[in-house]
Structure formats: structure tokens, C-alpha cells
């Protein structure tokens, strides 16, 4: 059985913990590897390595740091097939989708290659007589990232390329469900010339996370995962005096206006609700049918949901792969059972899908609910599976109120051909990432990613300028060179005369 260890000081690190967790192949249900779960002492070793590497790395010219990232970018491209296969084998999503997610991560590396431009400070000559003032952005020190299972390459790459390009050292704690891709990224960074200790990986669960949160030498925590844990990370980071950005769960609404191009809306919804088996924080899990569009929308959706091709992610014909674990499959099926009990109409039932030769895989077919209401738990809670709920509202304003009253505010989209509705929607909606006729409005690397309300705790979104601000602290220097000036003591606030 393959064992997956940590990566510290530029090499595999076995650590002293004996605890392990199973890594499954979701397509077959088999255990394919065991991953080590770090102890507090293992976390301490990683922090010591990152601390040793920090002073030299922070002093390395930003262009030299960026050049290592350029090499890293080339290595990711060269090894993209292998990285993609690692994602497919541990997460379960289909190959092309996994490849797409790797590329979205690569785009953050491309962004980080240009960071020298963004680390330039500001300068004002003569803020006072012969006094100059300037500001610089300096690295924080050791930063840590804690990431979810659903994007094993992309979400870590929202964080570490920006952090290390800004001169920080980094410790990643990937999801214990699919850690192999991160280990390979660490090896590629080393090949690219990254000094040992600048990027480390600690595998583990709550014990490793708590070790990071409580360690005095860690300056900042970036987290992506479920809302309950995001809130915990936010509170603990504040308690232990760390800068924090903690991105949480979601319930994304897709508004379908009566004037929309219905084919475009249905195709957009299919990809956004069932792509990656709904295991995306930007999945559209609620379709809001406005006015009289509901019947036709449900009819067209149901035909397509029934025709979805379910299969192992590595099979190029599959449109939707399995869920990540059996535990998660049971949870998602439980929500479908609950929806039926709550009185929603289950138009397409994917609970009984069985694939010949893959009987033990974690598969569920696409599920479609109609007549869902605001009071139902299947509407309020994040299901994180291929389950789309259609909720009917009478008009545009009711759709906006519905979304604004929801506890989550990650992403949302409106399908319409009316500019007035589109503009009003983008202006009024209380959500961080908004699409107009774009089913999954994930911002590019040079913009920033983040939700509102209980989808993000903290002040900064990820990557783009927000990422640079998060991973640097501002210092402002005011200076005067004495040239025969004789100062008397001044006991009042200096002001401009
Ligand atoms: P999760 O919250 O279970 O785990 C995320 C990370 O937290 C993992 O590394 C895990 O080891 C760690 N963790 C789990 N329990 C912990 C505990 N009790 N104490 C400390 N650490 C703990 O999330 P997941 O199931 O891996 O991922 C799915 C969730 O992530 C969904 O809710 C999804 O919406 C969310 N997500 C959000 C975004 C976003 O950008 N907002 C992006 C991707 C995923």
C-alpha cells in the first residue's frame, strides 16, 4: 500500500505521528493509499524549516523569486497530464474538468510571476519641508494554507504562489482526502529552484490545523472549506493574533428570467449544477424560475439530467464522476431523502445509479427537485452534490430578496436578455461574485476570488491585488536628512505650516 508523507525542508518528511487516514479511489471504492496525519511535533518541524528559510527568501530580489515561479509554470505545463491524473484518481472528477481546474491554478502562478510590479511602493517628495515619505509592502513571515478536498490543485494555488512571490515562506495543509497533487507540486517547486523550507506540506486533520493555529511563529492563515470550520479558523486566528482569510460554504442561485435565452440558461445550469458532481463552491445548486418560465425550465432540465453520462473520471465519455467518499455519498443521498420528506417534488432521482464493474464506486446520478421552498433544509443548507433545486418566484424583486436573505453569498448568476434587469441585479445583489449570462462567474487570477456573508470570514479575497495585500504588510517611512538644521524640542503634534 502506498504511503503519503509530509514535505519539509525540500524533501519527504516522515514525522513521528503513527496516525494515518485512507485515501480512496472514488471510482472503484478501493483504498489506494494511506496518508500520515501530523502531530503537533511534526507541525513544529515544518515551522522551524519555514522560519530558517524566511530571512534569505525575504531578502531575495522579487524578480529572482518570480523567475523561479516562471520555471514552476513550465514544469506544471510539462507535467499537467500526471497532475491531472492524480486529481482524478483521488477526487473522482472527470479528466477534462480536473485539467481545467489545474489550469485555473496555473493562472495564479502566471499572475504571481508579475508580482514585482505590484510590490512597488508609493513615494511623496516634500510631505514637509525637505521631508520625504514612502511606503513599501513587506512579507509577513510564515504563512499557512488549509485547503478543501474539492480542488486539490487550484485552491492551494490560489494561495502559495502569491504568498511566496511576496517573499513569505509557506506551510500547506491540504485535504487529507486527496493530498498527492500537493506533494507533486512541492517536488516541482524544488525542481524549479525554490530554496528548501520556503514551501512545506504538512498532511493531517484537526490536530495539524490546531498546531498551525496555535504556533506563535505563524503570521497568517488562509483557509478554504466549509462554513463551520471557516468560522472556527477565523475565531482561533483572531485569538492567536494572526491575519486570516477564511472562505466557507455556499448556496449559489441562478436566476432564470422569462426573457432569457432558455437553451443558454439550461446548458449553463447543467454544467454549473452537475459539473464536478456538484462538488464546487461555485456550483449553482438553486435555479430561481421567475414568472411563468418554471414549467418549461423543469421540462428541459429533466431531459438533460436523465441523459447525464455517469462514469469513472478517467473515462473520456463520462460527464460526471463519483463523489469523493462513501461518507459524502451517504450525506448527499440523505439530503435527497430529506427533500422528498419535506415535500419537494423529486423530478429526477439519481439515488439508485449502479455502474457495471464499478459497483463499489461512490456514484450518484443527477437529482432534480421542483417546487422547493425557502423553509426547506434542502434549500437552506449546502448539499455539495449533484442536486439542483428549482424554486419558483413571481417576479425579479422576489428573486433578489430570496438571494439577499440567504445566509451564504458566494456566487450567483442571472440569465436575461434585458439590460435593465441585469444592471439592477449586479447592483442590488448581496453576493461576492456575480454572473450575467455566465453560469459560473469565477474571477480570473488577476481579479480576486471571494464571497460575502457566511461564505467568507475576514477582510481579503484570494489572489489578484487582494492576495498581494493579504500576504504583505505596509510600512510607511518618513525621512529627512539633517543638513545644518537645528531643531528645538517640539511638544505639539507636528502640522504643516
Ligand atoms: P472541510 O471544512 O471539511 O475541510 C477543509 C479543511 O479543513 C481540510 O483541510 C480539513 O482537514 C480541515 N478540517 C476539517 N475539519 C476540521 C476541524 N474540525 N478543525 C480543523 N480543521 C478541520 O471542507 P471539505 O469537505 O474539504 O470541502 C468542501 C467545503 O469547502 C464546502 O463547504 C465548499 O463550499 C467549501 N469550499 C469553499 C470554497 C470557497 O471559495 N468559498 C472553495 C472550495 C470549497
CA 175–ligand 1 middle distance (angstroms): 8
In a domain, 204, yes or no: yes
* Closest to 140 measured CA to CA, from 466, 470, 434: 470
Residue 489 binned pLDDT confidence (cut-offs 50, 70, 90): confident
Q: Are residues 221 and 310 in the same domain?
A: no
In a domain, 484, yes or no: no
| Angle CA 236–403–280, to nearest 5 | 60
- Give the structural domain span for 236: 2-248+455-477
Average pLDDT over residues 176-190: 98
What's the CATH code of the domain at 64?
3.40.605.10
Tell me what pLDDT residue 485 has: 67
% of the chain surpassing 90 pLDDT:
96
Q: Whose CA is nearest to atom 35 of ligand 1?
A: 225
What's the CATH code of the domain at 422?
3.40.309.10
CA 295–ligand 1 middle distance (angstroms): 36
Q: Are residues 264 and 310 in the same domain?
A: yes
Q: Residues with catalytic annotation?
A: 281
Q: Are residues 240 and 355 in the same domain?
A: no
Residue 327, burial from CB neighbour count under 10 angstroms (0-12, 13-18, 19+): exposed
Residue 30 binned pLDDT confidence (cut-offs 50, 70, 90): very high
pLDDT tens-digit map of 58-117: 999 999 999 999 999 999 999 999 999 999 999 999 999 999 999 999 999 999 999 999
CA 381–ligand 1 middle distance (angstroms): 15
Higher pLDDT, 488 or 231: 231
Tell me what pLDDT residue 494 has: 78
Q: Are residues 70 and 129 in the same domain?
A: yes
Q: Are residues 132 and 198 in the same domain?
A: yes
Residue 182 binned pLDDT confidence (cut-offs 50, 70, 90): very high
Q: Which atom of ligand 1 is least distant from the CA of 226?
A: 32
Q: Are residues 113 and 18 in the same domain?
A: yes
The number of folded domains in the chain is 2
Tell me what pLDDT residue 497 has: 66
Collapsing DSSP to helix, strand or coil, 19 comes out as coil
Distance between CA atoms of residues 238 and 235, nearest Å: 5
Strands 252-256 and 456-458: unpaired
Residue 488 binned pLDDT confidence (cut-offs 50, 70, 90): confident
Mutation test of ligand 1: which of 35, 40, 148, 233 has the most ligand atoms closer than 8 Å to its C-beta? Answer: 148
Residue 208, pLDDT > 70, answer yes
Collapsing DSSP to helix, strand or coil, 166 comes out as coil
* Closest to 479 measured CA to CA, from 118, 59, 135: 135
Which regions of 109-233 does DSSP assign to beta strands (E)? 122-128, 131-139, 142-146, 169-173, 199-201, 218-224
In a domain, 20, yes or no: yes
Q: Which atom of ligand 1 is least distant from the CA of 250?
A: 34
Collapsing DSSP to helix, strand or coil, 41 comes out as helix
Distance between CA atoms of residues 49 and 12, nearest Å: 13
Strands 169-173 and 199-201: parallel
Average pLDDT over residues 287-300: 98
Q: Are residues 238 and 375 in the same domain?
A: no
247 lines ligand 1 (CB under 6 A): yes
**Cell numbers at 458, concatenated:** 475576514
CA 203–ligand 1 middle distance (angstroms): 14
Average pLDDT over residues 320-328: 98
Average pLDDT over residues 286-292: 98
149 lines ligand 1 (CB under 6 A): yes
Question: % helix / strand / coil in the chain, to the nearest 5?
Answer: 40, 25, 35
In a domain, 492, yes or no: no
pLDDT tens-digit map of 350-365: 999 999 999 999 999 9
Q: Are residues 138 and 239 in the same domain?
A: yes
Averaged pLDDT score across all residues of the chain: 97
Beta carbons of 323 and 364 less than 8 angstroms apart: yes
Residues 6+ apart with CB under 8 A from 353: 310, 363, 364, 365
Amino acid at each position: 500500500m502506498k504511503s503519503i508523507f509530509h514535505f519539509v525542508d525540500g524533501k519527504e518528511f516522515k514525522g513521528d505521528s503513527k496516525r494515518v487516514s485512507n485515501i480512496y479511489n472514488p471510482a472503484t471504492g478501493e483504498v489506494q493509499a494511506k496518508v500520515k496525519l501530523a502531530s503537533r511535533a511534526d507541525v513544529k518541524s515544518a515551522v522551524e524549516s519555514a522560519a530558517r528559510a524566511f530571512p534569505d527568501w525575504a531578502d531575495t530580489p522579487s524578480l529572482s523569486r518570480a523567475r523561479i515561479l516562471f520555471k514552476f509554470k513550465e514544469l506544471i505545463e510539462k507535467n499537467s497530464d500526471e497532475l491531472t491524473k492524480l486529481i482524478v484518481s483521488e477526487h473522482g472528477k472527470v479528466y477534462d474538468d480536473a485539467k481545467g481546474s489545474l489550469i485555473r491554478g496555473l493562472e495564479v502562478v502566471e499572475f504571481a510571476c508579475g508580482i514585482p510590479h505590484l510590490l512597488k511602493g508609493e513615494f511623496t517628495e516634500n510631505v514637509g519641508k525637505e521631508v520625504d515619505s514612502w511606503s513599501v509592502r513587506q512579507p509577513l513571515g510564515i504563512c499557512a494554507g488549509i485547503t478543501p478536498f474539492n480542488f486539490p490543485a487550484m485552491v492551494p494555488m490560489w494561495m502559495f504562489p502569491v504568498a511566496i512571490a511576496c517573499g513569505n515562506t509557506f506551510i500547506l495543509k491540504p485535504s487529507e482526502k486527496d493530498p498527492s497533487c500537493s506533494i507533486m507540486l512541492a517536488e516541482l517547486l524544488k525542481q524549479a529552484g525554490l530554496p528548501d523550507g520556503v514551501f512545506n506540506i504538512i498532511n493531517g486533520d484537526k490536530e495539524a490545523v490546531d498546531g498551525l493555529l496555535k504556533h506563535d511563529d505563524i503570521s497568517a492563515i488562509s483557509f478554504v472549506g466549509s462554513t463551520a470550520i471557516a468560522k472556527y479558523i477565523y475565531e482561533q486566528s483572531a485569538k492567536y493574533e494572526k491575519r486570516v482569510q477564511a472562505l466557507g460554504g455556499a448556496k449559489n442561485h441562478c436566476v432564470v428570467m422569462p426573457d432569457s435565452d432558455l437553451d443558454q440558461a439550461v446548458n449553463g445550469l447543467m454544467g454549473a449544477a452537475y459539473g464536478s458532481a456538484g462538488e464546487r463552491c461555485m456550483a449553482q445548486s438553486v435555479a430561481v424560475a421567475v414568472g411563468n418560465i418554471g414549467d418549461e425550465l423543469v421540462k428541459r432540465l429533466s431531459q438533460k439530467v436523465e441523459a447525464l453520462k455517469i462514469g469513472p473520471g478517467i473515462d473520456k465519455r463520462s460527464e460526471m464522476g463519483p463523489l469523493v467518499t462513501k461518507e459524502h455519498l451517504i450525506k448527499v443521498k440523505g439530503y435527497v431523502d430529506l427533500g422528498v420528506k419535506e415535500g419537494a417534488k423529486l423530478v429526477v432521482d439519481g439515488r439508485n445509479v449502479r455502474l457495471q464493474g464499478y459497483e463499489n464506486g461512490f456514484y450518484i446520478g443527477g437529482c432534480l427537485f421542483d417546487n422547493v421552498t425557502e423553509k426547506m433544509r434542502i434549500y437552506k443548507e449546502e448539499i455539495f452534490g449533484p442536486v439542483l433545486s428549482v424554486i419558483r418566484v413571481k417576479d425579479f424583486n422576489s428573486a433578489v430578496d430570496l438571494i439577499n436573505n440567504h445566509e451564504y453569498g458566494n456566487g450567483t448568476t442571472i440569465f436575461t436578455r434585458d439590460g435593465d434587469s441585469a444592471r439592477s441585479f449586479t447592483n442590488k445583489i448581496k453576493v461576492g461574485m456575480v454572473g450575467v449570462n455566465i453560469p459560473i462567474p469565477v474571477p480570473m487570477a488577476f481579479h480576486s476570488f471571494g464571497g460575502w456573508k457566511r461564505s467568507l470570514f475576514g477582510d481579503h479575497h484570494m489572489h489578484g491585488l487582494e492576495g498581494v495585500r493579504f500576504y504583505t504588510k505596509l510600512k510607511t517611512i518618513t525621512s529627512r536628512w539633517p543638513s545644518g538644521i537645528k531643531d528645538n524640542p517640539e511638544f505639539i503634534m507636528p502640522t504643516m505650516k
